[in-house]
Amino acid sequence: MSESKPARKQQQRSIVTQLKLLDAAIDAFSENGFKGTSTRDIADRAGVHHPLITYHFKNKEQLWRAAADRIFREFNISLVKAMAEVPEIDPRARAATFIRTYVHFAHGQPALHKIILQESSHPTSRLDWLIKNHLRPLFEEVVKSLKELQALGVAPPGDPALLFNMIRVSAGGLLALAVEIKGTSNLDLDSEAALDELSEMIIRCFLPGEMPARH
């Protein structure tokens, strides 16, 4: 089939272009927000001509959604992979693994939290979409485990939704501020050791109780 070969070649190049645009979009949107980034800036970062954005993603809004999808899809893959290695019967170890995974992923991909921050500054249709498609499903699963840990006396008492959000901002929210924290606190959050220290500090503050011995 002599006509299938060039067709595949074109498809491959198309995928590469799309990935370059998505990575550039993630960077630009997390730096300057939706309104603050121009499609020209994204195209320049990706090294492609700006009308290609319309071609591949229709418009700025659809490109934003595709970029958000990419971030959360990769996060979920990391999460599922990490959680698969912890025994179901030890909820504290599972929570600790969740925190460590979240911290390490948010360091490598700070856009995970930055995109949320940018969109949460005021109500938008993009925020509604983000909540419905990515944030709520994750929240509901995690808060279930957190209630369990509170019942066991491992996590401190109080509204579990509040506790979840405190943990979340202490991890991703703190790492999203890395540039500022380096400047004001002289704290370098770029080393593996610093990430471990942050993870352990979060566990120490939010999961202070020991697991009760099983009979």
Distance CA(211)–CA(119), nearest Å, equals: 38
By CB under 7 A, tell whether 199 contacts DNA.
Answer: no
Closest CA to 34 of 135, 111, 110, 134: 111
CB of 211 to a copy of itself, least distance (A): 18
> What residues numbered 126-165 form the site for a copy of itself, per CB under 8 A?
127-128, 130-131, 135-136, 139, 143, 156-159, 161-165
Q: Please return the burial class of 200, using the count of CB atoms within 10 Å of its CB with bins 0-12, 13-18 and 19+.
A: middle
List binders of a copy of itself among 6-45 (CB under 8 A): 30-37
Size of the site for DNA (CB under 7 A): 21
Report the residue from 24, 27, 30, 39 that binds DNA according to the rule CB under 7 A: 39
Among 185, 190, 210, 212, binds a copy of itself (CB under 8 A): 185
Output phi, psi for 24, to 5 deg.
-65, -40
We find the least distance from the C-beta atom of residue 69 to DNA, in angstroms, to be 18
* CA–CA distance, 215 with 131 (Å, rounded to integer): 41
- Tokens encoding 56: 């591949």
Taking CB within 5 to 8 Å according to partner kind, which of DNA, a copy of itself, none is near residue 54?
Answer: DNA
